[in-house]
Amino acid sequence: MDGTTLGVEEEFQIIDRATGELVPRSDELVPAARRSLGDRVTAELNRCQVETATPVCADLSEVRAELVRLRSELDRVAEAIGCGILPLATHPWSSWQDQQVEDDRARFREMEDRYQRVARQQVICGCHIHVGIEDPDRVVEVMTRVRPWIPVLLALAANSPYWNGEDTGYDSYRLEVWERWPTAGLPPALADRAAYDEVVDELREADAIEDATHLYWYLRPSDRYPTLEFRATDVCLDVDAAVCLAGLARALVRTCVADAQAGVPVGTASSSLLGASLWRAARYGLAEDLVSPSSAAPLPAADVVRELLTRVGGALDQAGDREEVTALTEAILRDGNGARRQREALAQRGDPADVVALGRAGLLTPAD
């Protein structure tokens, strides 16, 4: 245990247990699930989605236990009403046009009214990882330092190749849908909390956002907790991948905190280069080159992933996580991210129902 806290939020699709279709039933599922899970489960923008959140966790064993508990209990409650939950970031065939925005909350009504089709199309599911940082200046500085590594995390977690029944060619099409929000993207390079607050104030004065919770950056200071929130990655097909991401995110934060304390200069990668790196990760996942944050050159994806493991090795050792996180990362490199595994499932018989079956099988495997 290294003293740096963790929390993981996972968004899931709600499907009809018999047909595998998306169904708009969060208004039934969430109240039922809250009887056992309390506020660990919440509604999302669309009624075919639901979100869970772990409590604050001290180590990866707690993260794993909470993810298994939340996934299994939520699915048990869903089964009682004829539904299931699905850990895929986009559905293999159901269309956003057949879904319903959650209109019981004023925030969601206002979002649909303001953003129209952009809001209605957000039938996508992500995994958000919170890493504790108490100092408000430090959290912004670390946010800036972490940015070049976000594409690597995205490539490992990519789990959304399909949209409206078609293979999009992207490993993470969810990111392409998410980018339609006007405040989405990687954050700018900021030095401290004052610089961050200035950006928030400018956007608020321009009537671009109501408050900081409407900043949909892929990495941001949480507005509710003393954490840095990683928001770029798709929901993971299985618990192992989510635990892997949490371990890598925490190690990145600890490494960047140490660099800041030691006065190591911040990297100079341009926003254009970082954006191009992120696009490549969303498009190809681990199947082609990724851009190395060290050299700014394209290299085989496995080499860049192992570069990340080397970069955060000291922090993994401090947490006692090196063996577990390395093994989980190597398993993703060997077996493929969720997008590759979805495509392999479809290729066997050409039946998209097999993709849903893969998601259902991965919901708790192998930690159950």
* Cα distance between residue 10 and residue 128, in whole Å: 7
Residue 245's pLDDT band (cuts 50, 70, 90): very high
* Cα distance between residue 269 and residue 189, in whole Å: 10
Residue 79's pLDDT band (cuts 50, 70, 90): very high
Rounded CA Rg of the chain? 19
* Cα distance between residue 277 and residue 296, in whole Å: 9
Tens digit of pLDDT for each residue in 262-276? Answer: 999 998 888 899 999
Mean residue pLDDT across the chain: 93
Tens digit of pLDDT for each residue in 333-360? Answer: 999 999 999 999 999 999 999 999 999 9
SS3 299: strand
Query: Residues near 25 by Cβ (< 8 Å), separated by ≥ 6?
Result: 14, 47, 48, 81, 83
Mean pLDDT of 192-221: 90
* Cα distance between residue 197 and residue 47, in whole Å: 33
Mean pLDDT of 85-105: 87
| pLDDT at 367 exceeding the cut of 60 | no
Select from 93, 112, 90 the least CA-distant residue to 101: 112
| pLDDT at 230 exceeding the cut of 50 | yes
Residue 208's pLDDT band (cuts 50, 70, 90): confident
* Cα distance between residue 57 and residue 225, in whole Å: 13
Query: Residues near 71 by Cβ (< 8 Å), separated by ≥ 6?
Result: 10, 52, 85, 87, 239, 363, 364
Structure tokens at 50: 């639901």
| pLDDT at 100 exceeding the cut of 90 | no
Q: Are 254 and 322 in contact (CB under 8 A)?
A: no
| pLDDT at 368 exceeding the cut of 60 | no
| pLDDT at 7 exceeding the cut of 80 | yes
Residue 67's pLDDT band (cuts 50, 70, 90): very high
Residue environment code for 238-269, b if the CB has 16+ CB neighbours within 10 A, otherwise e:
bbbbbbbbbbbbbbbbbbbbebbeeeeeeeee
| Domains by residue range for the chain, with CATH | 6-357 (3.30.590.20)
| pLDDT at 362 exceeding the cut of 50 | yes
Unique residue bearing structure tokens 């009214």: 113
Tell me the residue length of the chain. 368
Residue 77's pLDDT band (cuts 50, 70, 90): very high
| Weakest-pLDDT range from 49-53, 150-154, 206-210, 242-246 | 206-210
User: Which has the higher per-residue pLDDT, 121 or 141?
Assistant: 141
Structure tokens at 296: 């700014």
| pLDDT at 365 exceeding the cut of 70 | no
Query: What is the percent of the chain where pLDDT is above 70?
Result: 98
Mean pLDDT of 22-26: 94
Structure tokens at 162: 């399909």
| pLDDT at 66 exceeding the cut of 80 | yes
If one counts every other C-beta atom within 10 angstroms of the C-beta of residue 216, the result is 16
| pLDDT at 45 exceeding the cut of 90 | no
Query: What is the percent of the chain where pLDDT is above 90?
Result: 81
Mean pLDDT of 4-17: 96
Residue 366's pLDDT band (cuts 50, 70, 90): low
Residue 114's pLDDT band (cuts 50, 70, 90): confident
Mean pLDDT of 150-170: 97
pLDDT recorded at residue 300: 97
* Cα distance between residue 201 and residue 25, in whole Å: 37
Mean pLDDT of 194-200: 94
* Cα distance between residue 136 and residue 145, in whole Å: 15
Bridge partners (DSSP) listed for residue 355: none
Residue 207 DSSP symbol: T
